[in-house]
Amino acid sequence: MEISFLMLLVLSLLLFPNGICKSLAARPPVVNIGSILQFNSTTGGVAAVAIHAALEDINSDPTILNGTTLKVQIKDTNCFDGFLGMVQALQFMETDVIALIGPQCSTISHIISYVANELRVPLMSFASDATLSSIQFPFFVRTGPNDLYQMAAVAEVVDYNHWKIVTAIYIDNVYGRNGIAALDDALALKRCKISYKVGFPSNAKRSELINLLVSVSYMESRVIILHTGAEPGLKLFSMAKQLNMMGNGYVWIATDWLSAYLDANSSVPAETISGLQGVLTLRPHIPNSKMKSNLVSKWSRQSKKYNYSDLRVNTYGFYVYDSVWVVARALDAFFDDGGRISFSNDSMLHDETGGTLHLEAMSISDMGNKLLEKIRKVNFTGVSGQVQFDAGGNLIHPAYDIINIIGSGMRTIGFWSNYSGLLSTVSPEALYSKPPNISLADQHLYDVIWPGETAQRPRGWVFPSNAKQLKIGVPNRFSFKEFVTKDNSTGSMKGYCIDVFTQALALLPYPVSYKFVPFGNGTENPNYDKLVQMIESNEFDAAIGDIAITMRRTVTFDFTQPFIETGLVILAPVKQHITSSWAFLQPFTLEMWCVTGLYFLIVGVVVWVLEHRINDDFRGSVRQQIITIFWFSFSTLFFSHRENTMSTSGRGVLIIWLFVVLIIVSSYTASLTSILTVQQLDTSIKGIDDLKNSNDPIGFQVGSFAQDYMVKELNISRSRLRALGSAQEYAEALKLGPKEGGVMAIVDERPYVELFLSTYCKIAVAGTDFTSRGWGFAFPRDSPLQVDLSTAILSLSENGELQRIHDKWLKTGECATDNSEFVDSDQLRLESFLGLFLICGVACILALLIYFGIMLRKYLRHEQRKSLRRFFSFVHGKDPPKNNERRSMSLLGSSTPATPMSSLSTLEIERPSREVRNDSVIEMES
């Protein structure tokens, strides 16, 4: 036996000269870890059972630590008494432990993290405080959920339901304050905010909690986020039910403390459950697995063994169980890498004589850094899922279940995963194998039963009953008082905009107390930019009236749905167009007339060229042929040409030309009819480009945004702009014109222009709107009243009430139907017919090319002597009759006994003349 053992030892040394020696030398029989918990809390009891269950499983498996036994020393602390808990934790640090499990509360975790850094002891904490960072505390290892991700999930739920403001109730300690700070940041990313924060101490009395809830009920937000511990949180829910704050209209969202309590307690009083109906809560997501099922199945036995028989396992139990396994696996890797457990005293730590804190007993872990490194590199599948740490020291793939409390149980309505950052009804682990889907359109949750047993999503806010009276700024206009102005006799505000606002308020399901505050002295129109800026300075709670929704204003304020569409238009003086004796020339421009006439001649010449050789209608003397060209071309205008076309090319060109003539004649007829029958208005201004290219003065309404728009957007010099304050000034400035101290045009919004044109008939709109805007009511950023008023305005539009209000205040006069918009009297231009002329021109060119190509081929085939003059003579000559034509002529001659003298003379006369002409040509060529 001894020889065999020696041989085995020698063989091991040869094969594993380093690893076996280190393992045998470095692995101690027992390794101690510590834990700091609060035994009388739900989380502390569950954590204690989970630690013992993990130790039993680790120590029963010899392959984990290879014979080393892992033991734990648990210290009971008081989480709610920060000072006492800190002292108890420091006393516990006097013992030599290689790692700590806990503490469970954030307050003590902050204190102990400093000590853990000094003593180089890894702190395996499941405290959720987001400010606990591995950057500040390198030995802090978070083995549970982080509030940073939980609050991101809460913010996503708020945004998904279109709520913009929430109320936050929290326990006033490190855990509560830092959690709400993380929530504030997460909501800001969604353009939401906490409108009211209220904290309470851990030892708050019942009367203090009731006062807290009463103050919350006075706030406008009905979405309440509760971030506390289990004991004070359940008290608040019970009191809220007594105060009727668990009914319709309220939304309660509790952080994961509530799900942890309900999961861990097997018997929750029915009264407690009844006070939680409709509440939403979050639970860290734990995927289903066989390991999880095994732990759940043996939990009952473990909890009885350690005197926690009334507790079931919850998510924190799973995380604590895996925390012990993290230490065990890291220790195994630590020992395999030659690590040794040893401690040394720190000379800087000492205590006064007789002190209860024996600081000198605290020892520094010599190889704590190496053990921490192994912990950071751990990667295995535990009961809580994949156990692996990211660069920030947090567990990878944080996710939460969104839970709705209904009846006596909890129903999962969806999930939130940091992998995509969205809400989904698909479990997070099913998404990890796919690319992240960040489309907001794909967000979905199952239906929720809200407080009050309703499935209808609450609005999330109400107008508070004790709210102060809203101060609403209203422009006190000098001109166009039909829109809004102050009634001097009663002191009240009236007008189109006022009626729209009051009618919209009447549709809201809650009363709104308000008073109108006139802005402006009434002797001139106020500056609207200054009016809306007074909302930002809190001088006004809102501003209503004829306020244009501009891009610059929407950056700072929220506007309701536009209640009237508007845009900038140009007012210009016009004169009635009087038809003259030469009105028949007006439908076409000069260029159009010239090109059309030219094409008549071109087509006539082309057809003559194509028909001259074969068609007797296009032959004769030079004078006759010129007359034929003109007659044929212009007679096509009336489709009355008498000459027949015999060539295929000529017929093709003629068909295309007749189509062009048809379009031109039809257009001319329609335009001339309009000129002679419709009243025309003439103006030198056709649109905004004419204003930009001119140097003449331009008018605008006092207080309007049109001034800044023309200067900043259209680059029109401010020196050209003239401020006008009333309709009378409009008319006078346009009548005078730029040469006599007036303006060439006025730029204003369409509603004012339409009201102006109902009285003044010699002015009209030139061109069309060159901006598209609307009027709306201005509110502070994220004002819930803005959303409800927008809905009410849409209702007014759909039921016709908005149009009735418009007709009541903005009736048009006699002139409005005559000249409300400038009738564009532009003539028909050449550009409109370029396509037709192009087609006709191409057809003519192709026909000529084909014709001359055929002639050239014939000429080369029949003529021996070749020259350009002989070619033109060949083209000019008449084609000889074909064989069938000669045969018909001979038959005609034999059957006829005598040829008429007239016909004979004609034939005899023509033939010599042609022969003489041809002979003369030949003689000239030679």
| pLDDT tens per residue across span 164-191 | 899 999 999 999 999 999 999 999 999 8
Rg (CA), the chain: 48
Tokens matching residue 656: 């295309």
pLDDT beyond 90 at 69: yes
**Is the torsion defined by CA of 828, 831, 832, 836 positive or negative?**
positive
Note whether 781 and 555 are within 8 A (CB).
no
Note whether 686 and 570 are within 8 A (CB).
no
Residues 6+ apart with CB under 8 A from 618: 607, 608, 611, 612, 625, 628, 643
End-to-end CA distance of the chain: 140
Of 425-439, 453-467, 791-805, 851-865, the range with the highest mean pLDDT is 791-805
pLDDT digits (tens, 9 = 90+) for 98-149: 999 988 888 888 888 888 888 899 999 988 998 998 888 999 999 999 999 9
d(CA 625, CA 647): 18
Mean pLDDT, range 814-835, rounded to an integer? 61
Question: What one-character-per-residue DSSP string does 119-163 give?
Answer: HT--EEE----TT--TTT-TTEEE-S--HHHHHHHHHHHHHHTT-
Phi-psi region of 291 (alpha: psi -120 to 50; beta: other; left: phi over 0): alpha
pLDDT, position 197: 96
Per the DSSP assignment, residues forming a β-bridge with 820 are none
Mean pLDDT, range 286-306, rounded to an integer? 92
> Cis (ω within 30 of 0) for the bond into 103?
yes
Question: Of 45, 75, 135, 518, which is closest to residue 316 (Cα–Cα)?
Answer: 45
Note whether 124 and 143 are within 8 A (CB).
yes
pLDDT digits (tens, 9 = 90+) for 572-610: 887 655 556 777 777 888 888 888 888 888 888 888 888
The two beta strands, 745-749 and 698-701, are parallel
Mean pLDDT, range 195-208, rounded to an integer? 93
- Between these two residues, 152 and 910, which has the higher pLDDT value? 152
Question: What one-character-per-residue DSSP string does 30-41 give?
Answer: EEEEEEEE-TTS
Q: Is 18 exposed, middle or buried (0-12, 13-18, 19+ CB in 10 A)?
A: exposed
Q: Which of 251-260, 456-465, 469-478, 917-926 has the lowest mean pLDDT?
A: 917-926
Mean pLDDT, range 34-49, rounded to an integer? 90
> Tokens 């002409």 label which residue?
917
Question: What one-character-per-residue DSSP string does 153-209 give?
Answer: HHHHHHHHTT--EEEEEEESSHHHHHHHHHHHHHHHHTT-EEEEEEEE-TT--HHHH
pLDDT beyond 80 at 657: yes
d(CA 404, CA 283): 11
d(CA 259, CA 42): 11
Does the fold of domain 688-775 match that of domain 147-287+399-442?
no
Note whether 383 and 363 are within 8 A (CB).
no
Per the DSSP assignment, residues forming a β-bridge with 221 are 461
The two beta strands, 193-200 and 165-171, are parallel
Per the DSSP assignment, residues forming a β-bridge with 573 are 763
pLDDT digits (tens, 9 = 90+) for 138-166: 999 999 999 999 999 999 999 999 898 99
pLDDT, position 580: 65
Mean pLDDT, range 708-726, rounded to an integer? 91
d(CA 331, CA 373): 11
pLDDT, position 355: 52
100 φ, ψ (degrees, to nearest 5)? -120, 135
pLDDT beyond 90 at 883: no
Of 81-95, 840-854, 865-879, the range with the highest mean pLDDT is 840-854
Is 519 in a helix, a strand, or coil? strand
**CATH architecture assignment, domain 30-141+291-349+358-386:** 3-Layer(aba) Sandwich (3.40)
pLDDT beyond 70 at 347: no
pLDDT, position 26: 56
pLDDT, position 893: 46
* pLDDT cut 70: percent of the chain above it: 84
pLDDT, position 253: 97
d(CA 453, CA 457): 11
Residue environment code for 473-496, b if the CB has 16+ CB neighbours within 10 A, otherwise e: bbbbbbbbbbbbbbeeeeeebbbb
If you average pLDDT over every residue of the chain, what do you get?
83
Note whether 597 and 833 are within 8 A (CB).
no
Residue 267 — pLDDT band, cuts 50, 70, 90? confident
Residues 6+ apart with CB under 8 A from 545: 474, 475, 483, 484, 497, 531, 775
Q: Which of 25-39, 412-426, 791-805 has the lowest mean pLDDT?
A: 25-39
d(CA 857, CA 874): 12
403 φ, ψ (degrees, to nearest 5)? -120, 140
pLDDT digits (tens, 9 = 90+) for 393-408: 889 999 999 999 999 8
pLDDT, position 720: 93
pLDDT beyond 50 at 903: no
* pLDDT cut 90: percent of the chain above it: 42
Is 829 in a helix, a strand, or coil? coil
pLDDT, position 85: 65
Residue 765 — pLDDT band, cuts 50, 70, 90? confident
d(CA 86, CA 492): 66
pLDDT, position 234: 95
Tokens matching residue 653: 């060109």
pLDDT, position 612: 72
CA dihedral 706, 712, 714, 718 (to 10 degrees): 70
Q: Which of 634-643, 869-878, 896-905 has the lowest mean pLDDT?
A: 896-905
Q: How many CA atoms lie within 13 A of 309 on its CB side?
A: 4
Tokens matching residue 363: 């020892």
Q: Say which CATH topology domain 688-775 has.
A: D-Maltodextrin-Binding Protein; domain 2 (3.40.190)
Tokens matching residue 215: 């103050």
Q: Which of 555-569, 679-693, 816-830 has the lowest mean pLDDT?
A: 816-830
Question: Of 730, 798, 750, which is closest to residue 483 (Cα–Cα)?
Answer: 750
pLDDT digits (tens, 9 = 90+) for 486-538: 988 888 999 999 999 999 999 988 888 899 999 998 888 999 999 999 999 99
DSSP 105: S
CA dihedral 87, 88, 94, 96 (to 10 degrees): -140
pLDDT beyond 80 at 236: yes
CA dihedral 181, 183, 184, 189 (to 10 degrees): 130
Per the DSSP assignment, residues forming a β-bridge with 226 are 169, 254
pLDDT beyond 60 at 350: no
pLDDT beyond 50 at 11: no
CA–CA distance from 225 to each of 146, 458, 460, 519 (Å)?
A: 17, 15, 12, 40
d(CA 914, CA 926): 18
Question: Of 104, 155, 103, 136, which is closest to residue 392 (Cα–Cα)?
Answer: 136
Domain boundaries, the chain: 30-141+291-349+358-386, 147-287+399-442, 470-564, 583-677, 688-775
pLDDT, position 2: 39
Tokens matching residue 252: 């309660």
d(CA 14, CA 5): 14
pLDDT beyond 90 at 373: yes
Residue 440 — pLDDT band, cuts 50, 70, 90? confident
- Between these two residues, 313 and 901, which has the higher pLDDT value? 313
pLDDT beyond 70 at 618: yes
pLDDT beyond 70 at 353: no
pLDDT beyond 90 at 543: yes
d(CA 110, CA 124): 13
Note whether 822 and 575 are within 8 A (CB).
no
d(CA 419, CA 89): 36
- Between these two residues, 249 and 891, which has the higher pLDDT value? 249
Q: Say which CATH topology domain 147-287+399-442 has.
A: Rossmann fold (3.40.50)
CA–CA distance from 608 to each of 628, 642, 662, 822 (Å)?
A: 8, 14, 21, 48
pLDDT, position 593: 85
DSSP 456: S
Mean pLDDT, range 917-926, rounded to an integer? 37
CATH number listed for the domain at residues 470-564? 3.40.190.10
pLDDT, position 817: 45
pLDDT beyond 80 at 828: no
pLDDT beyond 60 at 345: yes
SS (HEC) of 791-812:
HHHHHHHHCCHHHHHHHHHCCC
pLDDT, position 10: 35
Q: Determine the length of the chain.
A: 926
Residue 9 — pLDDT band, cuts 50, 70, 90? very low
pLDDT beyond 70 at 819: no
